[in-house]
Amino acid sequence: MLAHNFFKLNNRLVKAPLTGLFFLFLGVALFLLPFKAGADVSVVVKDIRVGLALKTLVQDFSVTGEYRVLDAVTGSEVAVARAGERWQARFDGGRIELLRDGESLGRFDNPVVLKESARSILAISAGGSLTGIGPGRPAVEAAGGETGRLDSDLSGYRVLTGDGQSALRGTTGQNLLALSNGGASRKYRGDLEFRAFSDGMAVINQLPLEEYLYGVVPGEMPSSWPEEALKAQAVTARSYAMAQMTAGAYSSYGFDVLAGQQSQVYQGYDAENQKVKDVVDQTRGRVLTCRGIVITAFFHSCSGGYIENSEDVWQNPLEYIKVKPDPADINDKYYHWEKAYDQTQLVDQLRQKGYSFSSISDVVEIARTSSGARVKKVAVTGLDAGGLPARVEICNADSVRSAFGLNSSLFEMEVEKDEQDSLSRIVFCGSGLGHGLGMSQYGALGMAGEGYNYQDILKYYYTDVDIDLLY
pLDDT by position in tens, the chain (length 471): 333 332 333 333 333 332 332 222 223 222 233 333 333 454 566 899 999 999 999 999 999 999 999 999 999 999 999 999 999 999 998 999 999 999 999 999 999 999 988 654 444 444 554 444 444 444 444 444 444 444 433 344 455 555 555 445 544 468 999 999 877 899 999 999 999 999 999 999 999 999 999 999 999 999 999 999 999 999 999 999 999 999 999 999 999 999 999 999 999 999 999 999 999 999 999 999 999 999 999 999 999 999 999 999 998 999 999 999 999 999 999 999 999 999 999 999 999 999 999 999 999 999 999 999 999 999 999 999 999 999 999 999 999 999 999 999 999 999 999 988 889 999 999 999 999 999 999 999 999 999 999 999 999 999 999 999 988
pLDDT at 119: 52
Contacts of 175 (CB under 8 A, 6+ apart): 63, 64, 65, 66, 67, 116, 117, 119, 189
pLDDT at 33: 30
pLDDT at 400: 98
pLDDT at 43: 52
Q: What torsion, rounded to 10 degrees, do the Cα atoms 147, 152, 155, 159 define? A: 0
pLDDT at 45: 64
Contacts of 141 (CB under 8 A, 6+ apart): 123, 125, 126, 131, 132, 147, 148
Q: Are 266 and 62 in contact (CB under 8 A)?
A: no
pLDDT at 16: 33
pLDDT at 174: 82
- Using CA atoms, how far apart are residues 357 and 351, in angstroms rounded to an integer? 7
Other beta carbons less than 10 A from residue 324's beta carbon: 17
pLDDT at 173: 64
Angle at 66 between CA 107 and CA 63, to 5 degrees: 70
Query: Given CA atoms 56, 62, 66, 70 in this order, what sign does their dihedral have?
Result: positive
- Using CA atoms, how far apart are residues 11 and 465, in angstroms rounded to an integer? 17
Sheet holding 48-56, edge to edge: 77-82, 66-71, 112-116, 191-197, 200-207, 48-56, 257-258
Per-residue b/e over 39-55, b at no fewer than 16 CB within 10 Å? eebebebbbbbbbbbbe
Task: State residue 268 phi and psi, 5-degree precision.
Answer: 70, -160
- Using CA atoms, how far apart are residues 122 and 130, in angstroms rounded to an integer? 8
pLDDT at 9: 33
Sheet holding 286-290, edge to edge: 293-294, 286-290, 466-469
Q: What is the pTM of this model?
A: 0.80
Q: Are 36 and 43 in contact (CB under 8 A)?
A: yes
pLDDT at 160: 54
The closest alpha carbon to 301, from 463, 405, 436, belongs to 436
Q: What torsion, rounded to 10 degrees, do the Cα atoms 236, 239, 243, 246 define? A: 150
Query: Given CA atoms 178, 181, 185, 190 in this order, what sign does their dihedral have?
Result: negative
